[in-house]
Amino acid sequence: MTGKVMKTRKVWSLALLPLFLFALPHFASAQVDGQKLFDQTCAKCHGADGTGKAVGAKDLGSAEAKKLTDAEIRTQIEQGKNNMPPFSGSLNKDQIDSLIPIVRGFGKKTAAAKKPS
């Protein structure tokens, strides 16, 4: 490669570095915010472990829950289902979206716990 091309790549790399450094903590904080929101809003019925045993709410680690698409999870949070009330009036789109990976995480924890060592 020519010196000019190498110099241009260095300049672009240095220019993009602050963007990545800025974005990484915000991605991590969104996940933390989703967990806090789950703890404050959802754990009352689904439990901290997502099983829902205390009040008979849906087990978020169940096979049925794992089959749901992100859109279906979002719709259930927004509109409610069965005994679950709708949260579209109290949570905004970003808050609801931050809960989806938390719900997905319960399915992963269940699958990992069932794997033989």
33: pLDDT strictly greater than 70: yes
The two tokens of residue 72 are 């279906």
Least-confidence region, from 1-5, 43-47, 73-77, 81-85: 1-5
Cα 69–Cα 65–Cα 50 angle in degrees, nearest 5: 125
Whether 70 and 99 have beta carbons less than 8 Å apart is answered as no
For residue 81, the cross-strand partners are 84
The three-state secondary structure class of 81 is: strand
Distance CA 29, CA 35 (A): 10
CATH numbers and ranges of domains, the chain: 30-114 (1.10.760.10)
List all residues 6 or more positions away from 31 whose beta carbon is below 8 Å from its beta carbon: 98, 101
pTM of the model: 0.67
Whether 91 and 81 have beta carbons less than 8 Å apart is answered as no
